[in-house]
Amino acid sequence: MDTDTHYTRSELMVAAASREIADGEVVFVGMRLPLLGFLLAKSLRAPNAVGVYELGIIRDTVAPEPILTMGDLPNLYRSQWLADTRDTMSLLQQGLVDVSFIGGAQVDRFGNLNTTLTGSAENIKTRLPGSGGACDLACLAHRHIIIMVHEKRRFVPRVDYITSPGYGEGKGWRESVGLVRGGPSAVITTLGIFAFDPETREMVLTSIHPGATVEMVQEQTGWPVRISAALSRTPAPSLEELSTLRRFDPDGFWTSK
C-alpha cells in the first residue's frame, strides 16, 4: 500500500474510522471526523453503506460537493429522505442502525462516556453540553465507535457521570439494565485504537499509531492499560485515502491538525 508520510493525526483517525464501516451497513454519521470517515468509506470500500444524519437526512450516495456540516445544501441534494430528527431517531428504536460514532469529555475503561458534568451532582465543577442524541446512539445502535483526543484528563478510571453507556461495570451490565443490543466496539484516539475484551468488556489496546508508543498511551490513560498480545501498528493513510479525504475537506477545516 502506497502511503504519504505527510498527514495529520486527524487524517489518520478519519482513515481508521472509515475502516470500521462495512459495506451495506446503515451508519448514523455524526459530525466532524465521523462525517469524513463515512464519506471516505463510502467512496473506497463500502459503496452500499447508507448514511443517516441526525437532522433528518438519509443518503446512499456521496454529496456532489464538499460539505462541512450535515446540513450543508449539497447534502440535501437528491438525498433519499428529507425528514426530521424524530424520524431518524426512530430508526435507532427499530434496531435499523448498524453503527454510530460518538465522543465525549470523559471515557472510562468500560467505554462509558460523559458529556454532562465534571465533579458530582452535588459539587459540579464544569457543566458540559449534555447528551443530545448520543445516549440514544449508545443504547440503540447495534454498535458504536468512540473517537476522542487521548488525554489523561479524558481517559479516567470512572467517568464522573454516565451520559452515554458503554459496558457499565463490565460484562452483563448492559443486559441487566435492559439494553438489549449494542455497546462500543472500538475507541479511536490520537494515539491508538482500542477494542473491548468479550469476557470482561474492558478496553484493550490493539493498535498503536505511527509515532506513538505504549508508554505514551499509558502516560495519557488514567488506569493500567491492557495490551493485546497481537498489538499492531495502525496503517498510515494510503495515497488513495488521503487524496479522497482531501477532496472532501480541501481546506483542512476538520483535519488540519
pLDDT at residue 5, as a whole number:
66
Q: Residue ranges per domain, the chain?
A: 9-248
**Burial (CB count within 10 angstroms: exposed 0-12, middle 13-18, buried 19+), residue 147:** buried
pLDDT at residue 4, as a whole number:
53
pLDDT in tens, 90-114: 999 999 999 999 999 999 999 999 9
Phi/psi class of residue 239: alpha, beta or left (left: φ > 0; alpha: ψ in -120 to 50)? alpha
- Residue 154, amino acid: R
Range name among 79-93, 148-162, 226-240 with the lowest pLDDT average: 79-93
What is the Cα–Cα distance from 37 to 35, expressed in whole angstroms? 5
pLDDT (average), residues 138-151? 96
Helices (H), the chain: 9-18, 33-44, 73-76, 85-93, 134-140, 173-176, 214-219, 239-248
What pLDDT band is residue 257 in, cutting at 50, 70 and 90?
Answer: confident
> For the chain, what is the mean pLDDT?
94
Cell readout for 196 is 473491548
Is the pLDDT score of 1 beyond 50? no
pLDDT in tens, 152-181: 999 999 999 999 999 999 999 999 999 989
pLDDT at residue 46, as a whole number:
96
What pLDDT band is residue 182 in, cutting at 50, 70 and 90?
Answer: very high
pLDDT in tens, 5-14: 689 999 999 9
In CATH terms, 9-248 corresponds, of 3.90.79.10, 2.60.120.10, 3.40.1080.10, 3.40.50.10860, to: 3.40.1080.10
Active site residue 20: no
CA 95 to chain centre: 19
Cell readout for 6 is 505527510
Percent of the chain residues topping a pLDDT of 70 = 98
pLDDT (average), residues 57-78? 90
What is the Cα–Cα distance from 203 to 228, expressed in whole angstroms? 10
Q: In what order do the strands lie in the sheet with 184-189?
A: 81-82, 57-59, 50-53, 26-28, 99-102, 143-148, 184-189, 192-196, 203-208, 226-233
Out of 54, 169, 240, 241, the active site residue is 54
